[in-house]
Chains A and B, each alone.
Chain A
Amino acid sequence: MIITKSKPKEVVLRSVGDRKRVFIVGCGTCATLCQTGGEEQVEEMANLLRERSVGKVVVETPCDIRVLKRDLSPHLGMIESADAILALCCGAGAQAISELTGKIVIPGLDTLFLGETERIGRFYERCRACGDCIIYETGGICPIVRCAKGLLNGPCGGMANGKCEAGGYMRDCAWVLIYRRLKELGMTQRFMEIRAVRDRSRRAEPQELRFR
């Protein structure tokens, strides 16, 4: 899931500025689960903007241009008359809204990471979408995201008592977790292997995936 966090209200209001007609779009998937862009948060934002809010809708998946088109179509008149759209969804959704409507989009959320949900309010980053998954070699634990330095051949010297120096030794060192997991799985040899340098070229330009 894409984990989002609400921007402080004063930041949103500053971006809205003196615009008189704002249309609010929420997200029915990730941001609803994060409680940042569901029905309730869209309603709250409408109350905050009061008469400046000219309409609102929670789109099932605003990052999917087809669904966005479908869910925005009953509101086209309002959107047309609005002088900004407040997007309570991730950056991908917000840009899809901008692209589709041609309106200035004000992001109401900050997009944080691809995460695992323990419960509402407890989200943990688990994937950096690096495009070259190696968790088979690391006992199902991703060092790219869970090691604070993203090392492939850890741990580093900042490990103490199994904890990580980053953040003051509160979090488990990913490489100690990896070692223990591999040992449990009878795969210690994997730990000993030297993992090769990564090809970072995929990250050197905006990515697209076209297979049809």
Chain B
Amino acid sequence: MKEAYSAFMRALSGGKFVFTSEIEPKKTTKFDEIVRAANMLKNHVVACNVTDNPRAKAHLSSLVASYVIQRETGLETICQINVRDRNRLALTSDLLGASALGIRNVLVISGDHIAGGDNPGAMPVYDLDSTQFVQMVRGMVDNGTDLNGNPIDGEVRLHVGVVGNPNADPLEVEVCKVERKIRAGAEFIQTQVVFDVEKAKRFLKDLNLSVPVLIGIFPCKSHRIAEFIVSKIPCISVPKEYIDRLRSAECQGNATESRKRIDEVNVDYFSNLIKELKETTRTSGIHIMTIGYESIVGKIADVVLG
């Protein structure tokens, strides 16, 4: 077994059921918001992802944000790096920088299509795709060379993960692709968010697993957010029952009470989903997307871990 460079990978290889979460840097020059979010998360998750220009919007660099979060809060990060915005030179530079700055986990993503972003006239790069990027990371970590075989001075200490989508239809194509990324050398999988436990179970069953999988969930702060997902992101299905429960919680009492009820709905819904996955599948952990709802992470994790 290879040496684990990160607390995240040590926890996974130790067979611990882990939680990760996510912080999204915005279009800003300030660090206070990401540091605030990291401080809220740090006692409940082993590591947090730091997004890289999600929805093709140009935000504060994921690499810089990851470094600052680790330095300011001690929370380990999983730095997301997309292949949409960088060619192989820039990707190599960022990986060298990440390793040098003490970032130990990267999550490789294709990146949402540029047409839906805030600079739709930009040139999409895709010099490499995510599978090839995984191969590049492997070469840097395992052989100490860049993609073209040029030697690197110093060790590159990074773990590389990829994304899978249990909601994908047709699922067999998605499963083949994820298996391809595992063969390329991915060490862990974090999935797109799942609301329907059966979808997660089917994905885990179909996938010929050799690496840990963290199933993604997204507790919604309001029924409108859940409806937004349904209308805008057809690759995610949200059960009507969950949306109805959120809607009815919102109608109860004043703002404070209604927030409390929404928390209860989310804790109940997702802790049951997680417990079922924990008991019936070989899920290694849960990735909780929050988008400004960090307070829910500890509540769900506490219930699941007892």
> Which residues of A come within 8 Å of B, CB atoms?
148-163, 165-167, 169, 175-176, 179, 188, 191-194, 196-198, 200
Contacts and interface: CB of A to CB of B under 8 A. Distances in A.
Nearest to A178: B173
Interface string B54-88: 00000000000000000000000000000010001
Contacts of A192: 176, 179-180
A152 B184 CA distance: 13
Interface string B100-141: 000000000110110110000000101111111001100000
B292 to A, nearest CB: 22
B131 A194 contact: yes
A163 B130 CA distance: 19
Contacts of A156: 110, 129-130
Interface in B183-220: 183-184, 192
A191 B110 CA distance: 18
Contacts of A179: 170, 172-173, 176
Contact of B116 (A159, A162, A165): A165
Given A161-B169, A179-B176, A191-B176, A153 B235 contact: no
B234 interface: yes
Per DSSP, are chain A's interface residues mostly helix, strand or loop, or mixed? loop
Nearest to A193: B180
B180 A157 contact: no
Contacts of B113: 148-149, 158, 165-166
B173 A175 contact: yes
B110 A151 contact: yes
B158 interface: no
B173 to A, nearest CB: 5
Contact of B235 (A160, A191, A197, A200): A160
A153 B129 contact: yes
A153 B169 contact: no
A150 B167 CA distance: 23
B283 interface: no
Contacts of B172: 179
B238 to A, nearest CB: 13
Contacts of B183: 194
A197 B147 contact: yes
A200 B115 contact: no
Contacts of B128: 197
Given A153-B129, A155-B177, A169 B170 contact: no
Contact of B110 (A158, A160, A196): A158
A153 B180 contact: yes
A63 to B, nearest CB: 26
A151 B126 contact: yes
Nearest to A148: B113
A193 to B, nearest CB: 8
A163 B128 CA distance: 22
Across the A-B interface, the 7 shortest Cβ-Cβ residue pairs: A160-B235, A153-B131, A156-B110, A160-B234, A166-B113, A151-B129, A179-B173
